[in-house]
Amino acid sequence: MQLANDPAGILARLAELRAADAPTHGGHVLSYVYDSGLAELDELAAAAIRAVQPVNGLDPTTFTSVAVMEGEVVGFARDLLGGDSDVVGSVTTGGTESCLLAVKTARDLWNASSASATGRPRLLAPVTVHAAFQKAAHYFGLELDLVPVGQDGRVDAATIISRLGPDVALVVVSAPSYPHAALDPIAKVAAAAQAAGIPCHVDACIGGWVLPFWTGLPAWDFRVPGVTSVSADLHKFGYAPKGVSVLLQRGRDRQRAQFFATTRWPGYPVVNPTMLGSKSAGALAAGWAITHALGRDGLAALAQSCERATSALIDVIGSIEGLRVVGDPVGPLIAVATDATAEASAQVDPHHWADQVRAHGWLLQLQPGLAQSDGTVLPHTTHLTITPVTEGVLPELSAALVTAADEVRGIPAVSPADVLGALPAGFALPSGPIDSETALAILAGIGLVSTESGGLPDRMAPFLALVSALPAPLTERLLTELIARVVEPR
């Protein structure tokens, strides 16, 4: 048959679209992408994906390559994360799916226990826990109990332990937390949870493949008694393409509660360890190939590069007048806030700084401030994820960080009053639910509808200020509209 369009032309168009993307390699984007700097790993991953392209990961008995690769990846992760032969696991499509499944497992076990007589299950975690756990509580009907953290992003162990109770289906701690790179007090929380018969999940989605090689850390993985599950993303510091993570669980019986199985329909018997049915084996094959190529030593070498670059950047940022590194980062992430002890004229707002750094060609990630349930407020910050390619660009990156700070020093943060004052005259914030057209009109009114490209505005600081200034349900609805419109057919 004759194809409707010539493949070469289609690929040329894709190349054009890709050229407009943020750069995935070279270290200029300090979030989202994890570049090992090893071109042969990318080639290997591409070849592995191609080799399994037609495979359906749904059935590892029909496609036995899937069973072998999954077993080897889980085994590698289990060794790395201090698990013994009692630890089993699954390969999932990403950190969110690993976290969702950890919560679903705990909820189902809790529902089957006598504790369920107490009513609704509760998910207990520091407020810094990844938003995937908010999503899990929402999807699976758990009450979310988020514990405030200190200004350094660290949760007090006694505070979280005091909130353990029979209705807690799962307590979650992070290694480290995404917003501030805080290593939660895992040993203390896990011990208290174990004593109370409550499972404890360690979210090592970002740290799982790099912290095993970080220097000077206390035990945070399956070596810690009471840790019942760990999530670790291969598509972060495992350097695999997106779509692959592992969820390890201590105890076969616990892990079996993760599965969904049914024979009660007139089709094939369904047995799904994870959320999807039919699924690609591509990212699994790529992750599998990369773990074999790097081995422990390769991962260690890449982690050591990350550690050197992180400590160099902590020094650089720490020496910039008006900025400070939040807390004591554990792992290759840094959160940067204003140094409030400096004179106002010497302070650097981290969001103006990030926008200015971007003008110099480096993309940092703006994080909003947060009012916690105890009335304290976590300041807004700028996030950097450091990868193995960072070390090679340290001089240029450091220069951009310093110069950008000089260029915005003394400019006050965008205040809520500024953004609300910029709303069109006579504009009334809706109090209840709004429809898509109203949401679009508000976005247009505040100048946030992305026009042709769907790209971000040049300056993100006012946008983040708006996120903090408006009531959360409204902002969430507006952002939903924004993202939904971005992918609508043009």
Interface contacts to ligand PLP, rule CB under 6 A: 94-96, 99, 130, 132, 174, 178, 203, 205-206, 233, 245
Instruction: Please return the burial class of 264, using the count of CB atoms within 10 Å of its CB with bins 0-12, 13-18 and 19+.
Output: exposed
Task: Give the shortest CB-282-to-ligand PLP separation in angstroms.
Answer: 16
How near is the Cβ of 269 to ligand PLP at its closest, in Å? 29
Q: How many Å apart are CA 202 and CA 186, to the nearest integer? A: 8
Distance, in Å, from the CA atom of 336 to the CA atom of 313, rounded to the nearest integer, reads 11
Contact 184, 126 (CB under 8 A): yes
Judged by CB, which is closer to ligand PLP: 45, or 419? 45
- Residue 347 or 382: the one with the smaller Cβ distance to ligand PLP is 382
Rounded distance, CA 468 to CA 460, Å? 13
Amino acid letter, 323: L
Q: How far is the CB of 453 from ligand PLP (least distance, A)?
A: 24
The closest residue (CB) to ligand PLP is 95
Task: State the burial class of residue 212 (Cβ atoms within 10 Å of its Cβ: 0-12, 13-18, 19+).
Answer: buried
Q: For 122, phi and psi rounded to 5 degrees?
A: -120, 140
* Residue 234 Cβ vs ligand PLP, minimum distance, rounded to whole Å: 10
**Shortest Cβ 96–ligand PLP spacing (Å):** 3
Based on CB atoms, which residue is closest to ligand PLP, 347 or 367? 367
| Least Cβ distance, residue 179 to ligand PLP (angstroms) | 9
Residue type, position 35, single letter:
D
C-beta of 311: minimal distance to ligand PLP in Å? 20
- When the beta carbons of 33 and 192 are compared against ligand PLP, the nearer one is 33
Nearer to ligand PLP, 95 or 322 (CB): 95
Which one, 96 or 338, has the nearer CB to ligand PLP?
96
Q: Is 256 exposed, middle or buried (0-12, 13-18, 19+ CB in 10 A)?
A: middle
Secondary structure of 148-189 in HEC code, one letter for each residue: CCCCCCCCCHHHHHHCCCCCEEEEEEECCCCCCCCCCCHHHH
Output the smallest distance, CB 43 to ligand PLP, in A: 23
Cα 60 from Cα 443, distance rounded (Å): 47
User: Could you give the CA distance from residue 416 to residue 151 in angstroms, rounded to a whole number?
Assistant: 21
In order of 131, 337, 423, the CA distances from 470 in angstroms are 19, 22, 11
Q: Which is nearer to ligand PLP, 280 or 438 (CB)?
A: 280
Q: Which is nearer to ligand PLP, 245 or 249 (CB)?
A: 245
